[in-house]
């Protein structure tokens, strides 16, 4: 890919996409595979991940990941370190949306805890596990899939547990960008997309939702880090 440094030696670059068996994650995996990446896609269950990998095509591997479970995160990282030995791109896409119609005054504590673990802590732990490989890459890219719901500047009463966890992911992005100077770490609002989470009435297709994610995953050396983007343009926190 033109402009992307650190990919020499003829060995395929490796991208790991969590929540990659369907929706936006699957489309991101498909596009990256089409650009020559070796891709690992994950899902909560092993079989959907493996089925998606087969359908996307050669060079794609499926692996189980429960994004809210530290043991599952470590198992995935161990697999990548032992069996592949490199990671150039990490797309933290897996997420949950719980009790979206509940008021912040009434929503159950468990919804906040599960949302935090899956949407914020999970991406942080996985990035930390893979940080040595991302730094070694020379072109390491981390893309955290956030949401406009996590923008504090325009936050409403919508889906409190989800919105707050995405705001936390945005803060994690800024800190990781500072902690990983040899990589680029950004987050993205893909917009309202027609997926199982977004529903059939959403105005965007998965191709449009994936576009900025793939752009951030393949930034040149001169590209930004520590930012929040929608449609390839920076947006307010």
pLDDT tens, residue by residue, 182-224: 999 999 999 877 887 788 887 788 899 999 999 999 999 999 9
**What's the confidence (pLDDT) of residue 202?**
77
Q: What is the mean pLDDT of residues 122-136?
A: 98
Integer CA distances (angstroms), 200 to 100, 151, 163, 203, in order: 17, 24, 21, 9
162 annotated active-site: yes
Among the listed residues 50, 52, 149, 162, the single catalytic one is 162
- pLDDT (0 to 100) of residue 1: 32
Average pLDDT, the chain: 93
144, 188 Cβ separation under 8 angstroms:
yes
Determine the pLDDT at residue 217: 98
Task: Give the residue-averaged pLDDT of 93-121.
Answer: 96
* Distance separating alpha carbons of residues 18 and 138, to the nearest angstrom: 22
Burial (CB count within 10 angstroms: exposed 0-12, middle 13-18, buried 19+), residue 149: buried
Structural contact between residues 109 and 100, judged by C-beta atoms closer than 8 angstroms? no
Which pLDDT does position 8 carry in this prediction?
Answer: 45
pLDDT average, residue stretch 24-43: 97
């Amino acid at each position: 890919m033109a402009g992307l440094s650190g990919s020499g030696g003829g060995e395929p670059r490796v991208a790991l996409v969590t929540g990659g068996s369907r929706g936006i994650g699957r489309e991101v995996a498909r596009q990256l595979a089409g650009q020559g990446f070796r891709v690992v896609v994950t899902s909560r269950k092993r079989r959907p991940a493996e089925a998606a990998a087969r359908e996307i095509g050669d060079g794609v591997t499926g692996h189980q990941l429960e994004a809210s479970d530290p043991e599952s995160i470590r198992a995935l990282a161990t697999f990548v370190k032992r069996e592949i030995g490199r990671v150039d791109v990490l797309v933290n896409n897996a997420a949950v949306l719980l009790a979206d119609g509940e008021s912040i005054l009434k929503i159950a504590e468990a919804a906040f805890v599960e949302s935090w673990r899956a949407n914020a802590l999970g991406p942080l732990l996985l990035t930390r596990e893979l940080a040595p490989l991302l730094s070694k890459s020379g072109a390491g890219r981390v893309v955290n899939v956030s949401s406009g719901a996590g923008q504090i500047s325009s936050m409403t009463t919508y889906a409190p547990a989800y919105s707050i966890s995405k705001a936390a992911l945005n803060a994690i992005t800024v800190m990781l960008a500072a902690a990983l100077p040899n990589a680029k770490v950004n987050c993205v609002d893909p917009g309202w997309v027609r997926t199982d989470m977004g529903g059939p009435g959403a105005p965007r297709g998965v191709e449009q939702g994936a576009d900025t994610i793939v752009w951030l995953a393949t930034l040149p050396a001169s590209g930004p880090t520590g930012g929040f983007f929608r449609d390839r343009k920076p947006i307010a926190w």
